[in-house]
Amino acid sequence: MKWRRFNGELIHLPIKEEVRSAIIRETTKGYHLKVCIGTDSQVKGIETEFATVIVFLREGHGGFMFIHNEKTRQTFTIRERMLVEVAKSIEIAYELCDLFNEFDVDMEVHADINTNPHFKSNEALREAMGYILGMGFAFKAKPEAFASSSCADKVVN
């Protein structure tokens, strides 16, 4: 899985090692961190592109993120695509959660799913929420899910 920084610089270490060094670097500088993980997708013709982000918030001092993009030609209903987004976020959250526990870093999984029932993505809300909460993770949906609806949305090509 290839990850990069927002400036396009590739991350060569395994993502878990890169996240560990980022946590150590930022906490050594005295920052209190919170991490938000989210995925967004965009359908273009026969391809669907997913962008997953790991957003590090430095309390009162901005933040930075790591990005992974992935394309598939598989077709999805809107509900399926929302749940695949959530699954991709949970996969990386699960891989990293022991680090967040070890360093006492709060983590949330953000779902790009609208809480307003008038939007199509709302069909997947209950399942996504159950999936995320069932894994023991904190959950945010739109409009509070900025990691998926703003950060990942900007880097899905």
Residue 120 sits in a domain whose CATH number is: 3.30.420
User: What's the domain count of the chain?
Assistant: 1
Greatest alpha-carbon pair distance for the chain in Å reads 47
Give the pLDDT score at 126: 86
Q: For 82-126, what is each residue's pLDDT tens digit?
A: 999 999 999 999 999 999 999 999 999 999 888 888 887 787 888
Q: Which of 132, 32, 36, 31 is nearest to 83 (CA)?
A: 132
pTM of the predicted protein model: 0.93
Per-residue confidence band for 152, with pLDDT thresholds at 50, 70 and 90: confident
For residue 110, the enclosing domain spans: 3-155
Give the pLDDT score at 123: 77
Give the pLDDT score at 119: 80
Q: Give the dihedral of Cα atoms 127, 129, 146, 101; nearest 10 deg.
A: -130
How would you class 51 by CB atoms within 10 Å of its CB: exposed for 0-12, middle for 13-18, buried for 19 or more? buried
Q: For 10-29, what is each residue's pLDDT tens digit?
A: 999 999 999 999 999 999 99
